[in-house]
């Protein structure tokens, strides 16, 4: 028991340091992504958006931190000949994996709950926040004071601003699936519920197929057309908790395509939460085989495992699911099955050699 507690302490310390290091690397990229998505937004809006992105990354980054922690822990045990001493004491090294299994199961359970019940709501909240932030940027611009706005689907630049009126205006937007570029002497903007209304004076309008002048045109543009990626449509299964998806399967009669989508979402969340056990099977032998003399190689190999799994899970699983001819359970668990076979083989070959 003392030996297992020793390994547990070393593992928790290594995982904590790995998680901290990954967070320090990832946070700047999250901030850059937030600034890019929220062009023209205030600092407070960006700060409010960051936790929504961070929560969505936890199910991917925490297993990677666990994998690096396992590699570091067993690599150090092997490098300092502690594994040799353990073998000489009549204790098989496989027994050292018991505390690692305990941590993996706890993290797996927490991640499963996060993926099943928390992340879907946060994913939709993130999309809702993006939509609301874009509307807020437009409304703030409408009240005047700024001479340029550049959002996902709308661009406006003015030479001069006077209150809520804009002079020497250039606008770019899509209307009825056609790109519009407008030069106007004067413009006012209003946001009415789900519409952006642009009232112009002395305008020249250029489209893909025509060019014309108009003294006082008015354009009414649906916000859904301006920001197509942030439509507030919660129909896709990825925006619903697993409990809601199971209830829909049990209480309604969905189409075969919808039922396949619901089942795939439920199983894919469970499959992703099992990565800790897969990384355990790969991390322990990697640490023992490579040891501290090639510690950089061990960490590189561990990161390679993680990226290979995520790419395989995202590409293979989704491709199989989109085809519809493969059962949802098989599509969701295919990457896990491949890594399970490889992991068991490497684990047994290393610890029983």
The confidence score (pLDDT) of residue 16 equals 93
The confidence score (pLDDT) of residue 153 equals 67
CA-based nearest residue to 279, from 310, 313, 302, 297? 302
Alpha carbon 101 to its chain centroid, in Å, reads: 26
R_g of the chain computed on alpha carbons: 27
* DSSP-based three-state secondary structure for 144: coil
Give residue limits of the domains in the chain.
2-133+234-351, 153-226
Which runs of consecutive H residues, i.e. helices, occur in the chain? 2-37, 43-79, 82-88, 97-113, 119-142, 223-226, 242-251, 256-273, 275-290, 295-312, 318-323, 328-351
CA-based nearest residue to 40, from 119, 140, 129? 140
Tell me the sheet residues that pair with 190. 197
Query: Dihedrals φ, ψ of 194, to 5°?
Result: -105, 20
The confidence score (pLDDT) of residue 231 equals 59
From residue 12, how far is each of 149, 159, 321, 352 by CA, in Å?
48, 58, 36, 25
Total-model pTM: 0.79
Q: Are 328 and 256 in contact (CB under 8 A)?
A: no
The confidence score (pLDDT) of residue 143 equals 58
- 211 φ/ψ sector (left φ>0, alpha ψ -120 to 50, else beta): beta
The confidence score (pLDDT) of residue 106 equals 96
Q: Who's near 67: CB < 8 A, 6+ residues apart?
A: 279, 282, 283, 302, 305, 306
- Give the start-end residues of each E strand in 143-255: 148-150, 154-162, 165-175, 178-192, 195-206, 211-214, 218-222
Cα separation, 299 vs 281, whole angstroms? 15
CA-based nearest residue to 287, from 16, 46, 7? 7
The confidence score (pLDDT) of residue 102 equals 93
CA-based nearest residue to 223, from 148, 173, 150, 180? 173
pLDDT tens, per residue, the chain with 353 residues: 677 888 889 899 999 999 998 898 888 888 888 887 777 667 788 888 888 888 899 999 999 999 999 988 888 887 777 777 777 777 777 778 889 999 999 999 999 999 999 999 998 888 888 777 777 766 666 555 567 777 666 777 888 877 667 888 888 877 767 788 888 888 887 777 777 788 888 888 888 777 878 888 888 877 766 666 555 677 888 889 999 999 999 888 888 888 888 999 999 999 999 999 999 999 888 888 776 455 666 677 778 888 888 888 877 777 777 666 778 888 889 889 999 999 999 888 887 76
The confidence score (pLDDT) of residue 152 equals 64
């Amino acid at each position: 028991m003392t030996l297992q507690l020793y390994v547990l302490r070393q593992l928790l310390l290594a995982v904590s340091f790995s998680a901290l290091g990954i967070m320090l690397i990832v946070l700047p990229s999250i901030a850059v992504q937030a600034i890019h998505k929220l062009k023209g937004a205030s600092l407070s809006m960006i700060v409010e958006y960051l936790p929504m992105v961070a929560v969505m990354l936890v199910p991917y980054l925490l297993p990677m931190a666990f994998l690096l922690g396992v590699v570091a822990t067993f690599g150090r045990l092997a490098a300092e000949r502690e594994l040799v001493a353990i073998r000489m004491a009549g204790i098989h090294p496989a027994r050292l994996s018991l505390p690692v299994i305990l941590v993996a199961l706890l993290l797996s359970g927490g991640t499963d709950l996060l993926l099943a019940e928390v992340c879907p709501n946060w994913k939709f909240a993130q999309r809702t926040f993006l939509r609301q932030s874009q509307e807020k940027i437009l409304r703030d611009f409408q009240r005047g004071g700024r001479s340029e706005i550049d959002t996902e689907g709308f661009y406006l630049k003015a030479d001069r601003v006077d209150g809520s009126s804009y002079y020497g205006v250039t606008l770019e937007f899509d209307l009825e699936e056609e790109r519009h570029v407008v030069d106007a002497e004067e413009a006012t903007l209003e946001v009415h519920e789900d519409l952006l209304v642009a009232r112009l004076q002395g305008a020249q309008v250029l489209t893909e197929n025509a060019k014309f002048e108009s003294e006082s045109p008015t354009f009414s543009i649906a916000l859904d057309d301006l920001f197509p990626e942030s439509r507030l449509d919660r129909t896709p299964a990825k925006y619903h908790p697993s409990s809601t998806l199971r209830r829909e399967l049990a209480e309604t009669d969905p189409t075969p395509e919808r039922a396949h989508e619901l089942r795939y979402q439920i199983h894919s969340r469970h499959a992703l939460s099992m990565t800790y056990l897969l990384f355990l099977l790969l991390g322990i032998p990697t640490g023992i085989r490579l040891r501290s003399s090639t510690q950089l190689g061990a960490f590189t190999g561990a990161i390679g495992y993680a990226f290979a799994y995520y790419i395989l899970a995202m590409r293979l699983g989704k491709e199989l699911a989109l085809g519809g001819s493969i059962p949802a359970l098989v599509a969701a668990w295919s990457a896990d099955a491949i890594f399970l076979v490889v992991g068991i083989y490497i684990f047994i070959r290393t610890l029983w050699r």
